[in-house]
């Protein structure tokens, strides 16, 4: 089984504790996993990853970098691509997911009726003014499963049919929405609330498989609780 994650650090980022805990969570539940770090030429390797793939691209155009790096990685087997600010908290049937013949996408679960912010990262998306976030981007890009690099090739071709602003931000979500709406039968959807739940939406009665600490505030909360999280993972390791 293969997990792939994008990892790029700015020059002023030295604390890798979040990302080390992310790796720890993968190996806690899937000790046999192959974990591939996709990075630029400068970001340090995280301890215990199986392999580092370095792509020489423009990291300011993060959408272009991510899509093309995963394409050039060239995996010919199924893999799960996920963000490195996530934590696996419960074991799910990964073999069933990887062996499923469809591409698996993540369906948004929360804040569906919130108005979309049209200005971000010095880019303007005024064509979506007054749209709800669910209407604009119903498919999230923080986790997906592909059967091979061919899907990333398709995404790369789609990317260059979009306006340049999508090279910097939202390009992956824009493409995933487009491909899904064009042919829904190609895909199987899983829910954000189960596979990438932000901590503020946790349901104690139905704990998710993964928690996603997206956003600066959630990352700070993550850092403040990192010892507790790693202690939890240690307990889980002993019980499995």
Return the CATH number at 164.
3.90.550.10
Whether 59 maps to a domain, the answer reads yes
Residue 103 in any domain: the answer is yes
Top-confidence range, 84-98, 103-117, 193-207: 103-117
Tell whether 182 is covered by a domain: yes
Can you give the pLDDT at residue 102? 96
Across the range 10-28, mean pLDDT stands at 88
The tally of domains found in the chain comes to: 1
The predicted-structure confidence for 4-16, as pLDDT tens digits, reads as follows 999 998 776 777 8
Tokens of residue 184, six digits: 């829904």
Residues 158/180, Cβ–Cβ less than 8 Å: no
Range of the domain at 15: 2-109+137-239
Please give the radius of gyration of the chain, using alpha carbons only, rounded to the nearest integer: 17
Please tell me whether the overall predicted TM-score, pTM, comes out greater than 0.85 for this model: yes
In the block, tokens 């990262």 appear at 121
116 in any annotated domain: no
User: Within a domain: residue 128?
Assistant: no
* 192 part of a folded domain: yes
């Amino acid at each position: 089984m293969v997990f792939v994650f994008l990892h790029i650090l700015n020059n002023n980022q030295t604390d890798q504790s979040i990302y080390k805990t992310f790796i720890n969570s993968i190996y806690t539940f899937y000790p046999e996993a192959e974990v591939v770090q996709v990075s630029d030429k400068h970001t340090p390797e995280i301890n215990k990853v199986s392999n580092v793939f370095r792509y020489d691209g423009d990291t300011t155009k993060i959408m272009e970098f991510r899509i093309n790096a995963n394409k050039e990685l060239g995996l010919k087997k199924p893999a799960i691509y996920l963000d490195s600010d996530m934590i696996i908290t419960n074991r799910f049937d990964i073999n069933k997911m990887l062996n499923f013949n469809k591409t698996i996408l993540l369906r948004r679960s929360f804040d569906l009726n919130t108005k979309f912010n049209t200005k971000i990262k010095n880019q303007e998306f005024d064509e979506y003014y007054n749209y709800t976030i669910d209407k604009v981007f119903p498919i999230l890009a923080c986790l997906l499963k592909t059967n091979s690099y061919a899907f990333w090739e398709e995404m790369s071709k789609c990317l260059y049919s979009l306006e340049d602003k999508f090279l910097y931000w939202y390009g992956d979500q824009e493409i995933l929405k487009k491909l899904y709406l064009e042919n829904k039968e190609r895909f199987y959807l899983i829910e954000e609330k189960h596979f990438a739940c932000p901590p503020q939406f946790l349901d104690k009665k139905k704990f998710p498989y993964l928690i996603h600490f997206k956003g600066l505030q959630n990352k700070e909360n993550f850092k403040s609780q990192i010892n507790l999280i790693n202690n939890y993972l240690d307990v889980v390791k002993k019980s499995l």
